[in-house]
Structure 1
Amino acid sequence: MEFEINAVGREKSGSNYARKFRREGFIPGVVYGHGERSRPILVPVKDLNRLLRHLKHDVVLVKLNVDSTWKRRCILKSVQVDPLTDQPSHVDFQILKKEPITIKVPVVLKGEAVGVKSGGILDHHLRELTIKVLPDRIPEHIEVDISQLGLGEALHIEDLPDRGFEYLDPPDAPVVSIIIPKKLEVVEVAPVAEEVVEEKEPKEEKEEKEETKS
């Protein structure tokens, strides 16, 4: 997925100017990378909010146009948020070139695990994976098939198929697992039948009964 954002170059900086920019509907930011000088910019709030909504689910490439003359393909590298308003206060864009970059990509689970059908609980450990990948091969998300995952089983980074990029998280890190609930761990024990022991008569009493019969 690729978004186009028409930004404006800026020369002034500082908290007073930043507040003024936000009142006018812009968020201050900077675009940098690969030997090019950092370029201060202003990004329309509506465009940034639209971009952030999609970033919750997928990686989004950005076609950034500055003053309609300077154009670059980028990714949104970071967003600073105002702790009082919980709104974006500054954004950083990284320019993409034909060399690998490090990026976090969302994980999307596919299918229903057999372990869940058997009463297990799905535990999604990693919702994003860090990968090293060429810009033209950046996936929107990483799909993980969990349909064959049974009770007490887990899928780790090292279990994922090769998709043409490098996983940077620890190979033994679990991505998803199926927890066995305690109620399934309890094994019912069948009641043990009581053994009936026949009480033997004392030898003397037994002999007396036999004499009486005779």
Structure 2
Amino acid sequence: MVQTIRIEAAARERAGKGAARATRRGGSVPAVIYGAKQEATLLALDPRDVMKELHKGGWQSHLYEVAVAGGPTERCLMRDVQFHPVSDQPIHVDFQRLAAGQKIRVRVPVLLLGEDVSPGIKAGGVANLVRRDLEVLADPDNVPERFEVDLSAAEIGDTIRWSAVKDQQGAVPTLDRDFVVLTVAPPTVAEAEVVIAAPAPAAEPAKGKGGKGAAKPAASAAAAKAPAKKK
């Protein structure tokens, strides 16, 4: 079952931009609950409560019980938050009221099972999780905590789709097809790089003082060894 988060709220009597600005000047965030063929309920929220939910992430998939002071508690989804263009603080929140029997859109994480015995994984394959969580429509009172994917018989090259997911608990995917959840990819082999060193350039002969070239070393050595002529 999905976690239900309770938010305390105060009622607002007037609608309109002027009333909303007055609510903000009073240190609260104006909000509204609409839907289920009922009249809209105007609210004022503590900005700290709003920011706490935004920092959690995934707030559009959470189920809320908004307790209005002096009024009923309403089951809602937080559908939209408007922010100040400069301060980036929330300035308005829209809640959608849940009607009886209405399903909610949520994201459910995927849990992998049997990786330690999977033939494909043992052979060096890699579990490529295409979708780490799955977006589904579910009954608010029967939302799965996770979707389990069994890899105990998966081979390299296998593809696991939505239809193979265990314990769907009546959830319906928002994608209208049997989409891919995971593949077992073959091992990646890195190609060895072969570096061929370029030959070193031949050294140029040193030039002598004569300008056109240096004296040959062999000739110079022979001249030094020859005996001096007698006069």
Give the deviation of 1:7 after TM superposition. 1.0
The unaligned stretches of length 5 or more in structure 2 are 192-231
Higher strand residue share: 1
The alignment status of 1:155 with 2:160, answered yes or no, reads yes
Unaligned runs of 5+ in 1: 187-214
Q: CA deviation at 1:128?
A: 3.6
1:144 corresponds in structure 2 to 148
1:3, 1:62 within 8 Å by CA — same for their partners in 2? yes
2:16 corresponding residue in structure 1: 13
Distance 1:2 1:25, change over 3 A: farther
State the AA in 1 paired with 2:157: G
Alignment equivalent of 1:76, drawn from 67, 78, 90: 78
Q: TM-score, normalised by structure 1?
A: 0.66
Supply the distance in 2 between the matched residues of 1:88 and 1:80 (Cα, whole angstroms): 6
1:174 aligns with 2:180: yes
Q: Equivalent of 2:136, from 130, 138, 151?
A: 130
TM-score (norm 2): 0.62
User: Which residue of 25, 28, 44 corresponds with 1:26?
Assistant: 28
Letter in 2 for 1:151: I
Deviation at 1:121, TM superposition (A): 5.5
Structure 1 residues 22, 156: CA separation in 2 closer, same or farther (over 3 Å shift)? Answer: farther
Q: Kindly tell me: are residues 46 and 67 of structure 1, through their superposed partners in 2, closer, same or farther at Cα, counting changes over 3 Å?
A: same
User: In proportion to residue count, which structure has more helix?
Assistant: 1
- Hey, what's the Cα distance between the residues in 2 that align with 1:158 and 1:176? 12
**Equivalent residues in 2 for 1:35-54 (5 A)?**
35-54=37-56
Structure 2 match to 1:88: 90
Aligned residues: percent identity? 24
SS state of the match for residue 69, structure 1?
coil
Q: 1:181 to 1:80 in 2, by over 3 A?
A: farther
Aligned length: 182
Q: Give how far 1:18 is off.
A: 4.8
Judged with a 3 Å threshold, the aligned counterparts in structure 2 of structure 1 residues 85 and 181 are, in CA distance, closer, same or farther, namely farther
